[in-house]
Amino acid sequence: MNTRNDRTKSSGCVKSKTPRGKIPLWIKIAYTAFLAVMVPIYWRDYGPTNFLYLCDAAAFLTLAALWSESPILASVPAVGIVLLQFIWVLDFCIHFAGLKITGISDYMFDPQIPLFARGLSLFHGWLPFLLVYAVWRLGYDRRGLAIWVGLAWVLMLVSYFWMPPSGAVLANPKQPVNINHVFGFSDHAPQSWMPAWAWLLTLILGLPLLIWWPTHLAFGRFFKTASSEKSAQPL
């Protein structure tokens, strides 16, 4: 009798120590399937340099965050792209009225880009909502801002010094130019408002101050802070 009770208690103890997943399995599988389709098609149509975009880097971090349920892995892309992607959505929607704000979604209306590839790019519209959900479920790790800023600066510098500028004529016309908009909002010609280096500096300083810092403050205010145990998990 005692042995039976001991087994029951032991079984219950083990069960209580098993953490319940905070992100539903179907979301993890669906997102993984999406990337499994998107990555090879993007590679084929745009080439590997396309993955230097901040949004693509965020997409890969999101995959790791969903499966690991790591607050910091969710916080890094969330603080980095949620507000920017909302701007993309607004720019995309206003195209249907014959207008545009920044032109960052112009490629969605380029007939030279396959329709299916453009359809995959609609992830810009739903990924920010997925990241907000992930941070809501997992908590916000305030270290995410510094990590994202460091990653974004590296990607922007690589895009500026080693990737094709706006208006570049390439053997593959689908290969991205002006990656991360380091030469201006248009892919057809560099911006002419200021010297190229000044535009880059504006991005490097302006994005953290005007986009990422406010997002960081909002997340810290409206979402629970990640527990110390979760925050201490390695990247």
CA distances from 56 to 16, 76, 231 (A): 38, 13, 24
- Count of the separate structural domains present in the chain: 1
Average pLDDT, stretch 217-224?
A: 93
Task: Tell whether 72 is covered by a domain.
Answer: yes
pTM, rounded to two decimals? 0.83
Mean pLDDT, the chain, integer: 86
Helix boundaries (H) for the chain: 2-16, 25-46, 54-68, 71-94, 115-120, 123-138, 144-162, 196-206, 213-222, 228-231
Q: Tell whether the model's pLDDT for residue 100 goes beyond 90.
A: no
Distance CA 71, CA 131 (A): 11
Q: Is residue 141 part of a domain?
A: yes
Does 188 fall in a domain?
A: yes
| pLDDT bucket at 20, cuts 50 / 70 / 90 | low
Helix 71-94 vs helix 144-162: angle between axes, to the nearest 10 degrees?
A: 60
Structure tokens at 52: 């230097």
In a domain, 182, yes or no: yes
The residue to which tokens 């014959």 are assigned: 98
Distance, in Å, from the CA atom of 89 to the CA atom of 83, rounded to the nearest integer, reads 10
Confidence of residue 163 (pLDDT cuts 50, 70, 90): very high
Does the residue 18 lie in any domain?
Answer: no
3-state DSSP assignment of residue 85: helix
The dihedral through the CA atoms of 178, 181, 183, 189 has a sign that is positive
Maximum alpha-carbon separation in the chain: 84
Domain that holds residue 96: 24-226
Q: Which of 83, 212, 206, 207 is nearest to 142 (CA)?
A: 212
Answer yes or no: is pLDDT of 11 > 80.
Answer: no
Average pLDDT over residues 86-106: 80
The pLDDT value recorded for residue 227 is: 57
Confidence band of 170 (pLDDT split at 50, 70, 90): confident
